[in-house]
Amino acid sequence: MIDALWTGWRSQYLSSLPKPFEGSHLEGRSVFTQILESGLTDDETFIVHRGELVFAILNAYPYAVGHLMVLPKREIASLAELTPAESLELWSTVSHASEVLKSEYKPHGLNVGLNLGPAAGGSVSEHLHVHIVPRWRGDANFMTTVANAKTISEPLIETAARIRHAWTTS
């Protein structure tokens, strides 16, 4: 029998996250669109790759070191809305990002996926994004369950630098 662990704290956590671009002229747009149009540098926003139609950015609240997302630059909510060119670039960028993470972090595996719609867990459901999360055997530890905390062993600025370097050399 599988035990179900209550994680009701997650909805509180998600609703408590800071909205770094609140009050800007871009309010009402996804956080990803706000980041793209903010004028901030890639170093400030943790964008690790910009393509013609898509980009890759670190998750500001990662599940594991190296957790990144690949998104179309255009704010759309569903796979059906992707143009053929966006779809091709999105999935080729997901493939390349996966290889970058494997070469730089040597994970035992990767989780690659999408949360389409709020009910699927998509906290930014208005802007399609593909998560790529490096995983290691035994990486689910007691901290989240017992201490209501996650341990991330590397600052985002260091992760971004490592991934950008690996991106250009692979």
DSSP symbols for 10-23: HHHHHHHS--TTTT
Q: Write out the two tokens for 95.
A: 């493939």
Tell me, yes or no, if 127 is annotated catalytic: no
pLDDT at 155: 82
- 138-148 average pLDDT score: 54
Q: In which band, very low, low, confident or very high, does the pLDDT at 148 lie, cut at 50, 70 and 90? A: low
Tell me the per-residue pLDDT of 23-32, one tens digit each, with 9 for 90 and over. 344 467 888 9
Is it the case that residue 118 has pLDDT exceeding 90? no
What is the arrangement of strands in the sheet containing 68-72, beginning at the earlier edge strand? 47-50, 54-58, 68-72, 130-135, 109-113
Helix (H, G, I), strand (E, B) or coil at 133: strand
Residue in this structure with the two tokens 């800007």, named with its chain if needed:
24
pTM to 2 decimal places: 0.77
- Catalogue all structural domains in the chain, each as residue range(s) with its CATH number: 26-169 (3.30.428.10)
Contact 85, 125 (CB under 8 A): no
How far apart, in whole angstroms, are the C-alpha atoms of residue 165 and residue 12?
36
pLDDT at 45: 93
pLDDT at 26: 45
Q: Write out the two tokens for 49.
A: 């790759």
How far apart, in whole angstroms, are the C-alpha atoms of residue 148 and residue 44?
28
pLDDT at 7: 54
Element counts in the chain: helices (H) and strands (E): 6, 5
Contact 89, 38 (CB under 8 A): no
- 135-153 average pLDDT score: 61
Lowest mean pLDDT among 21-35, 49-63, 78-92: 21-35
What DSSP character marks residue 119?
G
Helix (H, G, I), strand (E, B) or coil at 145: helix
Phi, psi at 71, each rounded to 5°:
-140, 155
Lowest mean pLDDT among 85-89, 106-110, 148-152: 148-152
**From 49, 67, 127, 129, active-site residue:** 129
pLDDT at 21: 45
